[in-house]
A and B are shown apart, each in its own frame.
Chain A
Amino acid sequence: MVEKELRIEKLTNGFRNGSRETVLQENISAFLHPGDLVCLLGPNGAGKSTLMRTLSGFHQPLSGKISFSGKNLESMSLKARAREVAVVFTGQINDPFLTAFEVVSMGRFPYASFYGRLKKSDLEEVENTLNLLHVAHLKDKTFYQLSDGEKQKMLLARALVQDTPFLFLDEPVAFIDSPGKIEIMEWLSHFAHEQNKGILITTHDIELALDYADRLWLMNREKPLQKGIPEDLVLNGVINQYFDRERVVFDPRKGRFGSGNKPDRQVVYVKGDQVEMQWLCRAFTRMGKEVRKATAGKSVIYYSFDTDHFVLSRKDKEDVILSTIEEVMKREMDY
């Protein structure tokens, strides 16, 4: 039994237009193993979608080799590919009558009879997957009427019933609200770890990728593909190199991007680290102030649990008690 894996060897990716070649990345070598959720991260125009299209056999690489479990992608029939990898693309499906159930059951087409009739076991698999993702109640709705999050879950279900060791998803969390994004990422992580799927997704969302990816592939037009687990790539500063712009830098403490330090900022002193204080600090940072932990003898702001209010405690003056962050901000700006 050959080990299941996607192997990329010395791949050069790009476009050929007549005799002119536009190279996006050169000399990519990487593996995707079952059980791993890999996020392909990179700024817009880095060639993430093109690489994904190349890996699923839709786009001819300029050179190099792609193989699934020891079989060369180029020499695999379309039918064999359909049993190796299921793909979720971006883009709308606007058919006016196609139901969610019909969309999901298309994932069973590689296993259907010539006339397209699905066996009872196929239909059961579709039902089970819909139940698993908690979308069974939506199955008879027209696909285009579903919300973006529901659509994405149906497309994920369609890819799952295709029953392949590998899943590729292009921008699965774009255009979805935050709780919906987390839900999708939780499912992807679940299917990688519990059902031993090898999952590759593209995304812009670095914070989400850092939270959920087992491995990151970082992409950039100028630099070679970097691979590694998210935590290492944060600590060795590689993330910065791939995304930083002037004024936007990655903050390794917070695990997210922010505007870099501005000089000559006014300092505000705070005490305590309750949720309320964290949000207050956030608001100050946004207003361009520097937040520091209080030292003795300074005016300080803290949150009082006795009164459920923010307290501005100033030397030689009476304390000011305020109930909302907006009021605190207004007060502080006046000074």
Chain B
Amino acid sequence: MVSLSRHKIWFVIFFLLTIVLFLANLWFGSVLIGWERVLDVLFHPDSKDTLAEVIVNQYRLPQTITALSTGILLSLSGLILQTLFRNPLAGPSVLGISSGASLGVALVVLAGSAFGSWFSMTTLIGNLSVILAAFAGSLVVLLIIILVSSRIGNILTVLIIGIMLGYAVSAVVGVLQFFSGAEELHAYVVWGLGSFSKTTAVQSVMLLVVALAGMIVTLLFVRPLNALLMGERYARSLGFHTRRIHTLLILITGLLVSAGTAFTGPIAFLGLAVPHLARGFFKTSQHGVLVPSTVLMGASLALLCNLLARLPGTDVSLPINAVTSLVGAPVIIWVIIKGRHFKTE
């Protein structure tokens, strides 16, 4: 148990790193504001500095909180799914839940033009209907997956059905895209590229609450998650209701992914890569260590990606998905190469 105190030191370091990156996200951007002014706005609500207040409070703060929360949500669900399916390449997209969100958005954004316009473009982007559509779409897919997993004991079957459902949903989205107008198509593609900056301050705080709640709920599942490391049969022989646990964990991750995707669009690789970083760094599979470290690493990696995407000091910014993919893909390649290494031994 000596190692636990070593882990605690690293937890503190990663927590401080998250705070530093959080502040850096408020400080750096296309307009450079001195850190004194940033702190002034943050800690004195009656500040006279209106420019800084508008930039920090209305733009950077919600975006930063959204990045932090989404990082936590997606990384946690990636961790749970990888343990649940005993597959290192499981991630938030495998159950078709993010495809479900895409379908919801596609129906709202694209179907308008396909079936005659009943939405005007101005009300479409960044408004509540897109968020609700994404959330509803992912919940429908989640519901199907839950129904399947409560009937079918074999978790691999559930995984395959989830992936197939994702393909089917994407096909429907493809058809909608084919019949929609250029403007709507552009709006949909932009949503698909993902963004942390579509949320209002209130929404971003809501997202943070969901993320923290997700973390607490996941901590309650540390023991069953650890038992699943040796496989379903051993977990069951140790007294765990594996089927019930599967269904509950799928429900939890489904809600986490739905919440994350609804506000930001699908964000690639974070959920897949962060659990591997946590495992590789702490060299453990114990969820008592992995849950907190995944939360901290997920938060800081999302903040880092957001900062990079902003290209501080310039007027342009990159789509967040481009940055997360460029950071995440090498991690996955590393995992695959390492995985092959131990299998051929």
Which residues of A come within 8 Å of B, CB atoms?
56, 58, 77-79, 81-83, 85-87, 89, 91, 93-98, 102-103, 106-107, 109-110, 112, 114-116, 144-145, 162
**By DSSP majority rule, is chain B's interface helix, strand, loop, or mixed?**
helix
For B199-225 the 0/1 string (1 means CB < 8 A from A) is 000000000000000000001101100
Do the beta carbons of A87 and B285 come within 8 Å of each other?
no
Instruction: Report how far A109 CA is from B229 CA in the complex, Å.
Output: 13
With known contacts A102-B286, A116-B222, A109–B236 Cβ distance under 8 A: no
9-residue interface stretch from B49-57, B237-245, B295-303: B237-245
Q: What are the 10 A-B residue pairs with the smallest beta carbon separation, nearest first?
A: A116-B223, A82-B239, A79-B239, A97-B285, A87-B237, A109-B238, A78-B239, A110-B239, A98-B285, A95-B285
Of B220, B222, B239, B343, most buried by chain A (CB within 10 Å of CB) is B239
Do the beta carbons of B284 and A97 come within 8 Å of each other?
yes
Minimal Cβ-Cβ distance residue in B for A93: B230
With known contacts A82-B239, A110-B239, A97–B279 Cβ distance under 8 A: yes
Residues of chain B with a CB closer than 8 A to A162's CB: 238
20 of the cross-chain contacts (CB-CB < 8 Å) are A56-B237, A78-B241, A81-B239, A82-B239, A86-B237, A87-B234, A89-B234, A93-B229, A94-B343, A95-B230, A95-B285, A97-B279, A98-B229, A102-B226, A109-B240, A110-B238, A114-B223, A115-B222, A115-B288, A116-B222
For B176-203 the 0/1 string (1 means CB < 8 A from A) is 0000000000000000000000000000
- Cβ-based interface call for B8 (8 A): no
Nearest Cβ distance between residue A3 and chain B, in whole angstroms?
A: 24
Minimal Cβ-Cβ distance residue in A for B230: A93
Do the beta carbons of B285 and A109 come within 8 Å of each other?
no
Do the beta carbons of B342 and A106 come within 8 Å of each other?
no
Nearest Cβ distance between residue B127 and chain A, in whole angstroms?
A: 42
Instruction: Report how far A47 CA is from B77 CA in the complex, Å.
Output: 39
Instruction: Report how far A85 CA is from B241 CA in the complex, Å.
Output: 16
Residues of chain A with a CB closer than 8 A to B7's CB: none
Instruction: Report how far A289 CA is from B136 CA in the complex, Å.
Output: 80
Instruction: Report how far A109 CA is from B345 CA in the complex, Å.
Output: 31
- Cβ-based interface call for B151 (8 A): no
Residues of chain B with a CB closer than 8 A to A110's CB: 238-239
A115's partner among B223, B233, B234 (CB-CB below 8 A) is: B223
B285's partner among A83, A96, A107, A145 (CB-CB below 8 A) is: A96
Do the beta carbons of B226 and A106 come within 8 Å of each other?
yes
Do the beta carbons of B241 and A116 come within 8 Å of each other?
no
Do the beta carbons of B239 and A97 come within 8 Å of each other?
no
Residues of chain B with a CB closer than 8 A to A82's CB: 237-239
Instruction: Report how far A115 CA is from B240 CA in the complex, Å.
Output: 14
B238's partner among A102, A106, A115 (CB-CB below 8 A) is: A106
Instruction: Report how far A89 CA is from B234 CA in the complex, Å.
Output: 8
Nearest Cβ distance between residue B151 and chain A, in whole angstroms?
A: 15
Instruction: Report how far A103 CA is from B222 CA in the complex, Å.
Output: 15
Do the beta carbons of A106 and B230 come within 8 Å of each other?
yes
